[in-house]
Amino acid sequence: MFYKVELKDHIRVPPNMFGLPLEDAVIKRIKTKYSGFISKDLGIVVDVSDMKEIGEGVIIPGDGASYYDVKFELLTYKPEMQEIVLGRIKDIAEFGAFINIGPIDGMIHISQTMDDFVSFSKDKTLSGKETKRTLKIGDLCRARIIAVSFKDVLNPKLGLTMRQQGLGRLDWIKEEAEGKVQVPKKEEKETKEKKDKK
C-alpha cells in the first residue's frame, strides 16, 4: 500500500549547490539521501512528495556546507499482508513466476499461479493441464500478497498467490466474470479424481 510519511531530518547542502534556490537544493539532497531507501517501518521510498518546512541554515566550521532542519513528506510503498496488487510478469522459472508490482518485485510459487496442475516449458511459460491456461512474461495479473519478509532489509521478499477467485491473469478474471469459463472448484476436482480411480 502507498503511504505519505512525514519526516524531519538534518539535510546537508554542499557549496556547489548554493547557486540553486534553497528549496530545489534541499529537495535534490533529500532525493539523493532517500532514493531507494528501504526499512521495515517505512517500506520502500518512492519519491519526495512535499516540502513542509526548511529551518534556518547552519554552517559548520571546516565543512563549508550548510545544514538545515527540514520537515518533508515522502511517498512510500509498504507491502501489506492480504493486499491485492496489480503487476506484470517479469520472469518465469521452473519454480514459479516473478511479478513486478511497481517499486518491488514479488514471487508467485508455481503451485500458487493457478488452481490446476501447472507445468513449466523451456520458452518460459507456465501451463495449466486442465484449464489450458498459460502464463508468460509480460502478462498483466492481479495477485494477493501472502508473505512479507524484511529479514534482509536491502532485499525484502514478497510471496503472492493467484489461486483465489478474482485473481490471475486479467483476461482469466474477465472470462470467469462473464461466465465463459467454468473453473472447477477444489471439491469438484477431488470428487472427479475419486470417480476416476474407481
Closest to 14 in 3D by CA, of 33, 1, 42: 33
pLDDT digits (tens, 9 = 90+) for 88-139: 999 999 999 999 998 999 999 999 999 889 999 989 999 999 989 999 999 9
Residue 176's pLDDT is: 85
Q: Where in the chain do CATH 2.40.50.140 domains reside?
A: 84-185
Taking residues 160-171, what's their average pLDDT?
92
Q: Say if domain 84-185 classifies as CATH 2.40.50.140.
A: yes
Count of residues making up the chain: 198
Query: Three-state DSSP class for 87?
Result: strand
CB 176 within 8 A of CB 133: no
Confidence of residue 198 (pLDDT cuts 50, 70, 90): low
Query: At residue 70, does pLDDT exceed 90?
Result: yes
Residue 151's pLDDT is: 87
> What global pTM score does this model have?
0.76
Query: At residue 194, does pLDDT exceed 80?
Result: no
User: Higher confidence at residue 140 or residue 178?
Assistant: 140
The percent of residues above 90 in pLDDT, for the chain, comes to: 68
Residue 196's pLDDT is: 55
CB 95 within 8 A of CB 109: yes
- Which H or E run contains 194? helix 186-197
Query: At residue 141, does pLDDT exceed 80?
Result: yes
Mean pLDDT in the chain? 88
Closest to 68 in 3D by CA, of 121, 29, 116: 29
66 CB burial (10 A radius; 0-12, 13-18, 19+): buried
Angle CA(62)–CA(37)–CA(162) in degrees, nearest 5? 175
Q: Classify domain 2-77 by CATH number.
A: 3.30.1490.120
Q: Could you give the CA distance from residue 42 to residue 30 in angstroms, rounded to a whole number?
A: 15
Query: At residue 188, does pLDDT exceed 60?
Result: no
Q: Strand 157-161 to strand 105-109: parallel, antiparallel, or no bridges (unpaired)? A: parallel
| DSSP code for 184 | P
Query: At residue 166, does pLDDT exceed 60?
Result: yes
Q: Where in the chain do CATH 3.30.1490.120 domains reside?
A: 2-77
Confidence of residue 36 (pLDDT cuts 50, 70, 90): confident
Report how far apart, in Å, the C-alpha atoms of 99 and of each of 135, 167, 194 are. Answer: 11, 13, 35
Q: Could you give the CA distance from residue 106 to residue 91 in angstroms, rounded to a whole number?
A: 11
Confidence of residue 61 (pLDDT cuts 50, 70, 90): confident
- Phi, psi torsion values for 17, nearest 5 degrees: -105, 5
